[in-house]
Amino acid sequence: MVAGKQASIYVTGEPITMTDETTATSDHKTYQINNEAKQLFDCETTLVVKVNGVQGSSGFKVNYLLGKVIFTIARNSEDVVTISGKYIPKSLAVTAHEFSFGKGVDVGDVTRFGDTHKRKLPMQKYAYGTISQWDVTDTFFTDALLSATPKYIIFNSGVEGTEPKIVLALFEKEEIKAAVGSPQDATVGFISANENIS
């Protein structure tokens, strides 16, 4: 359990189109979108990455949760990288001051009929944990918090230079209801809703 740090839970809106958003870099390999409000990319939308106005299709990967494009090979210092696609608007609903966070992977049995030994392969990755010591930021978001839809959680370690962990997670409904009603006492468990874990 990490105490005295902060977990922030966000409710989100429908994806919004963005076009040729500018980016910044410190190493000419990792480029992050400048507009902080647009740094949560819609993972259902294919992003268009351009270098000096020319669209690329390979040689990079996208971190949808942190609004970044990471190139395999460093770009030239004068290169201009822009991103188009959709971002997810988010509003802070709740913060909490204690949390635990872990990662795991499901293992599947892929043994073929007639094999003498069992074969297993890693399958879906997931994150899990608990959150407690809540501060309800705005009761306007209570209904959204209590809904069964996934919420984005940003975990800040409090260590300077360390990127936050971000996960789209599902809460246990009765636990989240208790947290909203009695925020200082409730502990809420979560599990990630997909494999996008920063």
Cβ neighbours of residue 149 closer than 8 Å, sequence gap 6 or more: none
User: pLDDT higher for 16 or 166?
Assistant: 16
Please tell us whether the domain made up of 2-11+90-197 is placed in CATH 2.40.30: yes
User: Which of 18 and 137 is assigned the larger pLDDT?
Assistant: 18
Check pLDDT > 50 for residue 40.
yes
pLDDT above 50 (res 2): no
The DSSP bridge partners found for residue 56 are 49
Please report, as a single letter, which amino acid is at residue 90.
K
| 78/75 Cα distance (integer angstroms) | 8
- Predicted local confidence at residue 158, as pLDDT: 64
Domain-by-domain residue ranges, the chain? 2-11+90-197, 14-87
Q: So what's the pLDDT on residue 156?
A: 75
Both tokens assigned to 46: 């294919």
Whole-number mean pLDDT of the chain? 82
The pLDDT value given to residue 1: 43
Strand positions, DSSP E, the chain: 2-12, 16-25, 30-33, 48-51, 54-56, 60-63, 68-71, 81-87, 90-109, 120-136, 151-156, 165-171, 187-197
Integer angstrom CA distances of residue 174 from 41, 59, 64, 141, 171: 30, 45, 30, 16, 9
Distance, in Å, from the CA atom of 172 to the CA atom of 174, rounded to the nearest integer, reads 6
Tokens 């922030």, residue located: 8
Phi and psi torsions of 164, nearest 5°? -70, 155
Q: What is the pLDDT of residue 39?
A: 92
